[in-house]
Structure 1
Amino acid sequence: LGALGAPADRPLDAGPDGLRGITSVDLDAARQVVEGVDLVAASDVDVPLLGLFGATKTFGPQKGLDDADLLEVDGLLDAWVDAVCGPTPAQRRVADAPGAGAAGGLGLGLLLLGADRRPGVAVVAEAVGLDAACADADLVVSGEGSYDHTSRSGKVVHGVAQVAGRHARPCVAIAGRVTVGAREMRAMGVESAYAMLDLAGEERSFADPSGALADVAERVARTWSR
């Protein structure tokens, strides 16, 4: 929003910590820049910005925030919502919209500019012809950094598995880490999930991610080949 010209009484390019003490944001200039532009916010998660199921609580631990940090960052974002939206529940409602918490709050910024939020996997699937590709495949392979309880919330693996399921094709996932059990996995439409940390080891996965991923993919291919 700052890059599009929205003035504020605190810097908008310094992360959550830069928002300390923010009270005023004017979106008029930013909205004028995108006037007449058809904005589509394609997000792979449908979390809101704040609260127990918001961006900070959901993704903060993945980024290294401890319990104290989670409360502090969520409080800073709460003040940000007051400044950019207004203090009343009706004014703040946009921060509770699905996808407002995507990309650390980028989703909210786009929604404030009038964007139409669509599930990212649906946008990409349509663009690449995923439906037809799955129909022609014997096996569908997807992946993400962490295959966990948030993966059902609009993320790529779940979306790809749904398309594969429509054509009765098995879907497997390769991820950095896997923390869901077999029953939950199959409820998401995934037959098996393979974790790089388990199969290639943490040290190699971080030192040579491309090579480690190739080795894991080769193992998966051997498992599922005819």
Structure 2
Amino acid sequence: DSFGGTLSATAAADAIATGWRRAAPDDELRLLPLADGGTGFVEVLHAALGGEWHELTVTGPLGDRVQARWLRIGDTAYLESAAACGLHFVPREQRDPATACGVTSRGVGELIADACDAGVREVVIGLGGSATTDGGAGMLAALGAVAVDEDGAPLSGGGGALARCARIDGTPQLDGVQLVAAADVDNPLLGEHGAAAVFGPQKGADAVAVAELDDALARFADVLAAALGTDVRDEQGAGAAGGLGAALLALGARRVSGAGLVRQLVGLDAELDDAQLAVTGEGSFDWQSLRGKLITAVARASADRGVPCVVLAGQVSVGRREAASVGVDSAYSVAESAGGVEASMADPAGTLAALAEQVAARWSR
């Protein structure tokens, strides 16, 4: 998978291969960049399957205009929420409680609308890496279903405004297109495992903002249920991408594992059938990695075949026992190997390659 904002999945695979070859030049390496529903989802599919890019300007998470694109393969459109409302659009110095409550997912709806206008039959939305916690209200507004207050005035963008949501005016315009939510996590919308509590802090929300957002999302869940006829707050994946999952599920989207979908489309299983060792990784191998994200998919597929699986990650906070429970034999940290996070971030590709060289010396046959 990609390593946060430092290395794409392709760049990470190249770095690992570079280091591995230094220690084990006779090994046959097969590089297969992967993604779950988050950042890099569409790029990985394009690299494996080709397709036609559609580029447009959409509303970014802070309300400005950003360039985004979606991928057409046959009658299916693939897009990712991070392309329109990704956390990378919000500078670290701007990630504070006010920003966390105020960013919008409207651009995701604009991407979906563009795909529908192009005549596709299915739109697959990769969920993950978002800066938003607005429950998908911005996305719905772009599709013609606008959240309004008691006076009928449209709400300002962001999750905080949902505390004043009275109803949804209008009907989503999808022209019969089937939606698929490719979620990288299975979190519900609300509570201690919900969108605000789990993902809000990384977007700048403090404890007060988290509580405010959770209450606002609860109100919005009531409104969604009344407007669209289904209560999705407790469904798996409803909390993905700041609650975008909830809005998509309320629209009738079919939920799939983002990692599982990529696994199928790029042929991971066929590659593992011929492998003696699987090497995988991401920016942070932590407890969230165990909740349906990419490393879990790779490790379990490897374990099914009796293939050992090792993880190379920027940071590792998962214990040996927890890692083993999903099929990971060993996990190695770039930060630990490089002498700290700052050192590893100064040269992401070089330090990852150096770690791969060390790991290859232990694992190569």
Q: Do these two structures clear the TM 0.5 threshold for a shared fold by scoring above it? A: yes
* Paired residue secondary structure (2:164): coil
- Report the CA distance between 1:27 and its aligned residue: 5.5
Q: Which residue in the other structure is 1:15 paired with?
A: 158
Structure 1 stretch 197-206 or stretch 135-144: which is displaced more? 197-206
- Distance in 1, matches of 2:142 and 2:297, equals 32
Q: Would you say 1:71 and 2:211 are equivalent positions?
A: yes
Q: Give the distance between the partners of 1:195 and 1:70, measured in 2 at CA.
A: 30
Cα distance between partner residues in 1 of 2:162 and 2:222: 11
Q: Equivalences for 1:144-223 in 2 at 5 Å?
A: 144-200=282-338, 201-223=340-362
Return the offset for 1:83.
Answer: 2.6
Shift of 1:64: 4.4
SS at match of 1:144: coil
In the aligned structure 1, how far is the partner of 2:328 from the partner of 2:218?
36
Residue 24 of structure 1, aligned match among 167, 176, 179: 167
The Cα offsets for residues 63-86 of structure 1, whole Å up to 9 and x where unpaired, read as 443332321221121122223223
Report the secondary structure of 1:158's partner residue.
helix
Q: State which drifts further: 128-137 or 64-73.
A: 64-73
Normalising by structure 2, we get a TM-score of 0.55
CA distance in structure 1 between the partners assigned to 2:160 and 2:188 by the alignment = 20
Q: 1:111 aligns with which of 226, 249, 262?
A: 249
SS in structure 1 of the partner of residue 280 of structure 2: strand
| 1:92 shift after superposition | 6.3
Match of 2:236 in 1: 98
1:128 Cα shift? 0.9
Match of 2:199 in 1: 59
Match of 1:121 among 235, 251, 259: 259
Name the structure where strand makes up a greater proportion of residues: 2
1:50 to 190, 194, 205: 190
Matches within 5 A, 1:72-91: 72-86=212-226
* Cα distance in structure 2, aligned partners of 1:150 and 1:139: 24
DSSP-derived class of the 1:75 partner: helix
Q: Indicate if the aligned counterparts of 1:81 and 1:92 stay in contact, CA closer than 8 A.
A: no
One-letter amino acid of the structure 2 residue matched with residue 147 of structure 1? F
Q: 1:3 aligns with which of 142, 149, 156?
A: 142
Distance 1:186 1:27, change over 3 A: farther
| 1:23–1:82 CA contact under 8 A, matched in 2 | no
Work out the CA distance in 1 between the residues paired with 2:321 and 2:353. Answer: 27
**How many Å separate the matches in 2 of 1:53 and 1:63?**
16
Counterpart of 1:135, as a letter, is D
Q: Distance in 1 between matches of 2:269 and 2:345?
A: 33
* Inter-partner Cα distance in structure 1 for 2:141 and 2:356: 42
SS at match of 2:306: coil
C-alpha separation in 2, matches of 1:63 and 1:174: 25
User: 1:11: how far off?
Assistant: 3.9
Unaligned runs of 5+ in 2: 1-139, 149-153
Inter-CA distance 174–61: structure 2 relative to 1 (3 Å threshold): farther
RMSD (Å) for aligned C-alpha atoms: 2.3
Change (3 A) 1:62 1:139: farther
Q: CA-to-partner distance for each residue in 1:4-36, whole Å, 9 max, x for gaps?
A: 222222446x332343422222351x2x3x232
Provide, for residues 165-191 of structure 1, a one-character-per-residue CA deviation record: whole Å limited to 9, x for no partner. Answer: 111001111223211111111111101
- Larger % of helix: which? 1
Distance 2:349 2:141 in 1: 35
Percent of aligned pairs sharing the same letter: 48
Query: After the TM superposition, which of the residue ranges 168-177 and 91-100 deviates more from structure 2?
Result: 91-100
Task: Measure the CA separation in 1 of the matches of 2:167 and 2:191.
Answer: 22
**Where in structure 1 do 4 or more consecutive aligned residues deviate above 6 Å?**
none
Cα-to-partner distance string for 1:22-51 (whole Å, 9 max, x where unaligned): 2222351x2x3x232122111121111101
Contact between 1:82 and 1:92, CA under 8 Å: does it hold in 2? no
